[in-house]
């Protein structure tokens, strides 16, 4: 009987004093998971803001570059398109830097080749039916009508977006790319006379009052009768 009593004591269940400790551990694990998800949500929101700012910079750079293509100097005989293209590149770089992303100036890289690691600016002619951009090889006698600008925050540009709390999860940075495109309608950009030819001019009248004002009154009455 004595042995049976001792054996009965040895198979007793775990003490209730150990349960609070295991509950605290479970709460700490759950809290750490919640904190990780909260950090991920904050970083995703931050990257979304940077992407919106980067898109704005790309659009501004493309519009500024396209504006340089719509210039009256393109109507001058013997005009070199390279001049306007160079002005467009300079404008794209300038307006890109004026629109910061994530607190840093947006760097638009000029270059001679639109490719990974090359230029961020592409000039070409837009096919309005297909929506495709046919890039022009320079030097080219044709003036482009479309500018495409790629703004990047990536490791290759040495400017990735630094995450705020993602480092705790092993993700320290993110890459964001935005593309802006602007097209000018160049079917009519102005009028230029052909050398040696006469330019028809429309008559222009300036209404001027006489000393006694009678001239103005007669002109107004004539307009009233004509109407």
**Structure confidence at residue 76 (pLDDT):** 76
H or E segment and range at residue 37: helix 19-69
SS3 label, residue 154: coil
Q: Which residues pair with 146 in a beta bridge?
A: 124, 183
Residues 178-198, mean pLDDT to the nearest whole number = 71
Distance CA 125, CA 69 (A): 12
Per-residue pLDDT tens over the stretch 82-137: 888 889 999 999 999 999 998 888 989 886 554 444 689 988 888 877 878 877 66
Per-residue pLDDT tens over the stretch 124-135: 888 877 878 877
- Give me the phi and psi of 122, to 5 degrees please: -130, 130
* Ramachandran category for residue 226: left, alpha or beta (phi over 0 → left; psi -120 to 50 → alpha): alpha
**Structure confidence at residue 149 (pLDDT):** 94
pTM of structure = 0.64
Distance CA 93, CA 68 (A): 13
Q: CA dist 113 to 119, 120, 137, Å?
A: 5, 9, 9
Per-residue pLDDT tens over the stretch 36-94: 677 778 888 889 999 999 999 999 999 999 999 887 777 777 778 888 888 999 999 99
**Structure confidence at residue 181 (pLDDT):** 93
| Residue 191 binned pLDDT confidence (cut-offs 50, 70, 90) | low
**Average predicted confidence (pLDDT) for the chain:** 74
Predicted confidence (pLDDT) at residue 221 exceeds the cutoff of 60: no
Distance CA 102, CA 32 (A): 28
Cβ neighbours of residue 40 closer than 8 Å, sequence gap 6 or more:
165, 166, 169
- Residue 159's CB is within 10 A of a number of other CB atoms, namely 19
Distance CA 12, CA 99 (A): 72
**Structure confidence at residue 22 (pLDDT):** 74
Biggest CA–CA distance in the chain, Å, is: 141
Residue 181 and residue 147 in contact, taking contact as beta carbons nearer than 8 Å = yes
Predicted confidence (pLDDT) at residue 200 exceeds the cutoff of 50: yes
Residue 121 and residue 132 in contact, taking contact as beta carbons nearer than 8 Å = no
Distance CA 144, CA 27 (A): 64
**Structure confidence at residue 176 (pLDDT):** 93
Tokens in use for 159? 């400017």
Would you say the C-alpha torsion 183, 187, 189, 195 has a positive or negative sign? positive
Q: Which residues pair with 149 in a beta bridge?
A: 121, 180
**Structure confidence at residue 137 (pLDDT):** 62
């Amino acid at each position: 009987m004595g042995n049976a009593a001792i054996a009965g004591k040895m198979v007793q269940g775990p003490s209730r004093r150990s349960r609070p400790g295991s509950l605290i551990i479970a709460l700490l694990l759950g809290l750490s998971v919640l904190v990780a998800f909260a950090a991920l949500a904050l970083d995703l929101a931050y990257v979304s803001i940077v992407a919106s700012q980067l898109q704005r910079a790309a659009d501004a750079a493309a519009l500024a570059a396209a504006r340089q293509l719509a210039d009256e100097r393109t109507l001058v005989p013997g005009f070199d398109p390279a001049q306007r293209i160079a002005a467009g590149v300079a404008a794209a770089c300038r307006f890109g830097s004026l629109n910061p992303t994530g607190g840093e100036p947006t760097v638009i890289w000029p270059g001679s080749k639109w490719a990974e690691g090359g230029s961020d600016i592409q000039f070409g002619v837009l096919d309005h039916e297909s929506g495709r951009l046919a890039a022009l090889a320079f030097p080219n006698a044709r003036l482009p009508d479309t500018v495409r600008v790629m703004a990047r925050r990536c490791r290759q540009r040495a400017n990735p977006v630094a995450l705020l709390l993602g480092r705790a999860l092993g993700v320290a940075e993110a890459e964001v790319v935005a593309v802006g495109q602007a097209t000018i309608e160049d079917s009519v950009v102005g009028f230029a006379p052909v050398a040696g030819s006469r330019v028809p001019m429309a008559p222009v009248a300036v209404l001027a009052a006489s000393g006694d004002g009678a001239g103005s009154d007669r002109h107004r009455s004539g307009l009233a009768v004509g109407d």
